[in-house]
Amino acid sequence: MWYSILWQPKDFSNKNGFIELDGCPRFWFSENKLLDFRNQLETEYPNLLIVEIFQTSIFVKNTKGVDMPTHYRHGIFMPNQNIAYDNWLQKQFDVSEKILETIRLRQELIQKNMFLEYSSKIIRHDMHSGINTYMPRGMTTLLQRLTPELIKEHKLGSAITLLERGLKHTQTVYQGVYAFTNLVKEDSQIDKVSFDLKLALIDYLLLTAYHDRVIIDDLITLTANKSLICTAIDNLIRNGLKYNEHKNNEKYVKIYMESPQTLVIEDNGVGMGAESFERLARPYQRGDHQKTLGTGLGLNICVAIVKEHGYIIECEKIDTGTKIRIKL
């Protein structure tokens, strides 16, 4: 492993110490115990004192793409705190890209992950009670006290239906978000259950405006995270309907088993080949001349969910549109 070494002259009045300081190693790679090479170095540089040795945790890449050690330490010593050191490090290792920008972006990513993890904690714990306990109990109590006569007299039927559907939709969305927040946690594992995939998809799509354009054949009993898998398939369904030049009543998506272990999502849209699929599956990528609104994340999230389960996803452009295979 790499170690970072901080030196200083034993005697600041002795110029030999400064001469040795110019040539002493700032970093050391060793598989031996720290004490062994420390004694070796102090013997080799008798006019210097090792102030500190610590294991390197932040690396930069040189122009050849090789990881090189630094003295940077998270929360202790970071870029911009000593510009002379930043410049020395860049010159020492022949680093072509700006060290400061690379480390800054890495730190920003760490910070954003912390915010995301904190947000996940709020969603998982604080929102759970409202969505899955208080609101359902409130609806139950309300319906117990509203007689059919009162509902009819005050024309509350449609309002109650909207509340019930809204609550069910909110709970479905919450389940999906809850499953995603699981992935934020360190060393996370996907919660899996066995379920009838066809029934799960029908239930998931029931409140969507496009459920009647989805044809679902008999599928298998799958052991997976139900919310995540339904989210992934729903993204593919929406893409198949969105990027489709047929009239609304002619658009469709078919879901069926091509083999006992191969799930197919097939549409009659504009069609997408394997190369385009691979490109658009990257974050924030959108199709050329695309006019519809979107973030460019749906397909990327879909592919990530599939791979997180250990499945394989493939795309093929066919005469009638797109065929996407998920090998379970």
CA distances from 148 to 62, 110, 143, 161 (A): 75, 55, 9, 13
The token pair that represents 183 in the structure block: 């992935």
Residue-wise pLDDT for 175-211, tens only, equals 888 888 777 666 677 889 999 999 999 999 988 899 9
Maximum distance among all alpha carbons in the chain? Answer: 101
Do 229 and 305 meet the contact criterion of CB atoms below 8 Å apart? yes
Residue-wise pLDDT for 20-41, tens only, equals 998 888 888 887 666 677 888 8
CA-CA distance, 239 to 257, in Å (whole number)? 20
Q: List beta partners, residue 325.
A: 264, 314
- DSSP, collapsed to helix, strand or coil, labels residue 46 as coil
What sign does the CA torsion over 304, 308, 309, 314 have? positive
The token pair that represents 254 in the structure block: 């078919």
Report the phi/psi class of residue 271: left, alpha or beta, with left for phi > 0 and alpha for psi in -120 to 50. left
Report H helices in the chain: 15-23, 34-44, 83-92, 99-121, 127-129, 135-145, 148-153, 157-184, 197-205, 226-242, 274-280, 298-308
Phi, psi of 151 (to 5 degrees): -60, -45
- DSSP, collapsed to helix, strand or coil, labels residue 254 as strand
The token pair that represents 97 in the structure block: 């890209």
Q: Report DSSP letters for 152-202, one per residue.
A: HHTT-HHHHHHHHHHHHHHHHHHHHHHHHHHHHSTT-----EEEEHHHHHH
DSSP state letter for 131:
I
Do 267 and 201 meet the contact criterion of CB atoms below 8 Å apart? no
CA-CA distance, 261 to 322, in Å (whole number)? 19
Residue-wise pLDDT for 140-189, tens only, equals 999 999 999 999 999 999 999 999 999 998 998 888 888 887 776 666 77
pLDDT in tens, the chain (328 residues): 888 899 999 998 888 899 999 888 888 888 766 667 788 888 899 999 999 898 888 888 888 878 888 898 887 888 778 888 888 888 888 776 665 566 666 667 777 777 777 777 787 778 888 999 999 999 999 999 999 999 999 999 999 999 999 999 899 888 888 888 777 666 677 889 999 999 999 999 988 899 999 999 999 999 999 999 999 999 999 999 999 999 988 999 999 999 999 999 999 999 999 999 998 888 777 665 455 555 567 898 899 899 989 999 999 999 999 999 999 9
CA-CA distance, 170 to 183, in Å (whole number)? 20
Q: What is the pLDDT of residue 127?
A: 86
